[in-house]
Chain A
């Protein structure tokens, strides 16, 4: 019997993620790359690479779903589903007790409340502003002369976090720079930035309500400083699934499997 596989493609603003699952929902291939211009070509290349690594022909793919920022223009998937539904589906598949998903990606941060069956009940997303997103942290890490993955770790050692009052990425950058110019310690500025982003994300969460189990996904979930700060400010246990950047793509692959089984 030929093996049937399902593709989930998540074209984000900064990265493209592709996941291949089998009939049982087991991940049989995954890949991630920088989106580049529009992300379309990167997505096509990743799909080809994932299939070739898994030793499968394109004909073995019984269904595919695309999600993320670039989903509307990507013509090579069967269906498109919003990233909100995909993150909810992926997170509740990995952690069935999930009731709230906090996803912080490159340009979007979103909070999704889901019911016991993994269905979206309510959601909130940041609007027309990159503060509180991965892009904000990238810009700030750059201003502090750090790699983005170091930012959270450096912030953890701060004893006297500074207050960053600006909620705009561009102005917050000049605020951080002027703190440094006045001789502030780098870890204190980093910690102030992490606190500012966390409180912004939790402000968004307040719109839909934070119900346990809270699950943190997206590239920013890899940032230890953010996770620690979100836990501290919310007073809640927050779980991060393995491979948090791939949750949206996994959700898309699970939708592909469901649609191909005849579900609408």
Chain B
């Protein structure tokens, strides 16, 4: 894609700029579900260990870092982003980019998982820097006024923490501007997804996985917005010209869970060879929610408590069913991700629910986002082959009946 170079420059600039002198602006390590708009309004430089973990996974460096963490006693059952991050702190000399620059602050939000709390406590202990844990309530059915009120008090505490650490006020105007900019980025990202409703789809999920880095890391910055405008234009052009992401789109599929970073292209190319394109997924769309209008802290509470992983299995199944209908999907693949318990526990049940409601078959493959030791290529290949054969035999039957009618 044309925008690939721009993406590369943008992310290289990000990882270089966080090492530049910051003129008194603190650098914070933050979790992917933290309300970064507050940090931007406070002038904090945000870096994302989870994105760094994905980068290490894609570069096949994560296992060595995980082993460093394991040799210090961290369990191999711990999330591989956490192990990669801790490994890069223990042995920065053997980590890509020499690890992340030392943080001044740590901000963990438990809306994506509980592991981040312990992971960041460990980081706080190692670096001897302050940690703020933002506690957002899990939404079992709906966000109640009491939950919103509680979340707002949490956000107020975060503002107080940031103002103390940054020695500056977080003004409503600055926060409003940060939210406006973030929403602009998010709207473009949503538009890019919706363009994939076209037949053939202009993008396959590995394209989305690769292009999601700025929405996570640079959401609400002018450079991210510019990048997504260019990407949106390029994707729209593909749709106008009928250019598909893969050579021949025979099956439109949905992907559930985080990418398998260490086998990203090998895995999806195997699907693509058989005409299977992933036109939508539950992971990259998790950054598609705009912050609603209204009271700024209440809106942030609503947006950040409402993230996909902080919702019930029923909500997730409903979301998948809606996507299957909107994107004309004929089957789905779930990555049972050993690392990500909140994402993966319950997949057997959501798989059953989604198939019951849509008739679309679902395949569950067991792997790990970063730890390639948990990935067995041959057994996975067998499952994928059988799954495609299942799709094929049901498709053939449809054509067979149509031919029968003609005769």
Chain A residues with CB under 8 Å of B394's CB are 119
Give B339-381 as 1s and 0s: 1 = Cβ < 8 Å from A's Cβ atoms. 0000000001000000100000100101000000010101101
Could you tell me if B390 and A127 are in contact, using CB atoms closer than 8 angstroms? no
Contact stretch, chosen from A45-53, A80-88, A137-145, A178-186: A80-88
Interface centre among A69, A72, A84, A124, by most B CB within 10 Å? A84
Q: Which residue of A lies closest to B390 (CB)?
A: A120
User: Is B382 interfacial (CB 8 A cutoff)?
Assistant: yes
Q: When chains A and B are docked, how far (Å) is the Cα of A130 from the Cα of B379?
A: 12
Chain A residues with CB under 8 Å of B397's CB are 117, 119
Chain A residues with CB under 8 Å of B378's CB are 69, 72
Q: Which residue of A lies closest to B383 (CB)?
A: A125
A255 to chain B, nearest CB (A): 10
User: Is B91 interfacial (CB 8 A cutoff)?
Assistant: no
Q: Which residue of A lies closest to B382 (CB)?
A: A82
Interface centre among A81, A122, A124, A207, by most B CB within 10 Å? A122
Could you tell me if A264 and B396 are in contact, using CB atoms closer than 8 angstroms? yes
B56 to chain A, nearest CB (A): 23
Could you tell me if A127 and B361 are in contact, using CB atoms closer than 8 angstroms? no
Chain A residues with CB under 8 Å of B382's CB are 69, 82-84, 125
Give A82-108 as 1s and 0s: 1 = Cβ < 8 Å from B's Cβ atoms. 111100000000000000000000001
User: Is A236 interfacial (CB 8 A cutoff)?
Assistant: no
Chain B residues with CB under 8 Å of A108's CB are 379
Could you tell me if A123 and B386 are in contact, using CB atoms closer than 8 angstroms? yes
User: Is B125 interfacial (CB 8 A cutoff)?
Assistant: no
Out of A81, A119, A128, which one reaches B366, CB within 8 Å?
A: A128
Q: Which residue of B lies closest to A70 (CB)?
A: B378
Known: A82-B385, A120-B386, A207-B348. A125 touches B379 (CB 8 A): yes
Give A63-83 as 1s and 0s: 1 = Cβ < 8 Å from B's Cβ atoms. 000000100100000000111
User: Is B314 interfacial (CB 8 A cutoff)?
Assistant: no
Known: A121-B361, A122-B355, A207-B348. A127 touches B366 (CB 8 A): yes
Q: When chains A and B are docked, how far (Å) is the Cα of A122 from the Cα of B351?
A: 11
B281 to chain A, nearest CB (A): 21
Could you tell me if B393 and A120 are in contact, using CB atoms closer than 8 angstroms? yes
A210 to chain B, nearest CB (A): 14
User: Is B248 interfacial (CB 8 A cutoff)?
Assistant: no
Q: Which residue of A lies closest to B361 (CB)?
A: A122
Could you tell me if A82 and B379 are in contact, using CB atoms closer than 8 angstroms? no
Q: Which residue of A lies closest to B351 (CB)?
A: A207
Chain A residues with CB under 8 Å of B381's CB are 72
Chain B residues with CB under 8 Å of A128's CB are 366, 374, 376, 379
Could you tell me if B389 and A120 are in contact, using CB atoms closer than 8 angstroms? yes
Interface size class of A (residues with CB under 8 A): 20 to 34
B199 to chain A, nearest CB (A): 22
Q: When chains A and B are docked, how far (Å) is the Cα of A114 from the Cα of B393?
A: 12
Chain A residues with CB under 8 Å of B366's CB are 127-128
Chain B residues with CB under 8 Å of A264's CB are 392, 396
Could you tell me if A82 and B376 are in contact, using CB atoms closer than 8 angstroms? no
Q: When chains A and B are docked, how far (Å) is the Cα of A26 from the Cα of B378?
A: 32
Could you tell me if B386 and A84 are in contact, using CB atoms closer than 8 angstroms? yes
Q: When chains A and B are docked, how far (Å) is the Cα of A123 from the Cα of B363?
A: 8
Q: When chains A and B are docked, how far (Å) is the Cα of A117 from the Cα of B401?
A: 13
Q: When chains A and B are docked, how far (Å) is the Cα of A44 from the Cα of B145?
A: 71
A209 to chain B, nearest CB (A): 8
Q: When chains A and B are docked, how far (Å) is the Cα of A81 from the Cα of B392?
A: 12
Could you tell me if B379 and A81 are in contact, using CB atoms closer than 8 angstroms? no
Q: When chains A and B are docked, how far (Å) is the Cα of A128 from the Cα of B374?
A: 9
Known: A121-B361, A207-B348. A127 touches B389 (CB 8 A): no
Chain A residues with CB under 8 Å of B389's CB are 81-82, 84-85, 120
Chain B residues with CB under 8 Å of A124's CB are 364
B393 to chain A, nearest CB (A): 5
Chain B residues with CB under 8 Å of A69's CB are 378, 382
Q: Which residue of B lies closest to A206 (CB)?
A: B348
Q: Which residue of B lies closest to A68 (CB)?
A: B382
Q: When chains A and B are docked, how far (Å) is the Cα of A120 from the Cα of B387?
A: 9
Q: Which residue of A lies closest to B359 (CB)?
A: A121
Chain B residues with CB under 8 Å of A117's CB are 397
Q: Which residue of A lies closest to B355 (CB)?
A: A122
Q: When chains A and B are docked, how far (Å) is the Cα of A98 from the Cα of B292?
A: 53
A174 to chain B, nearest CB (A): 21
Known: A82-B389, A120-B389. 5 other contacts (CB 8 A): A69-B378, A84-B389, A85-B390, A119-B397, A128-B374
Report 30 cross-chain contacts, Cβ distance below 8 Å, ordered by A residue.
Answer: A69-B378, A69-B382, A72-B381, A81-B385, A82-B382, A82-B385, A82-B386, A82-B389, A83-B382, A84-B382, A84-B386, A84-B389, A85-B390, A85-B393, A108-B379, A119-B394, A120-B386, A120-B390, A120-B393, A121-B390, A122-B390, A123-B390, A124-B364, A125-B379, A127-B366, A127-B379, A128-B366, A128-B376, A207-B348, A264-B392
Residues of B within 8 A of A (CB): 348, 355, 361, 364, 366, 374, 376, 378-379, 381-383, 385-386, 389-390, 392-394, 396-397
Ranked 9 nearest A-B pairs via Cβ: A84-B386, A82-B386, A82-B385, A127-B366, A120-B390, A85-B389, A119-B393, A128-B376, A82-B382
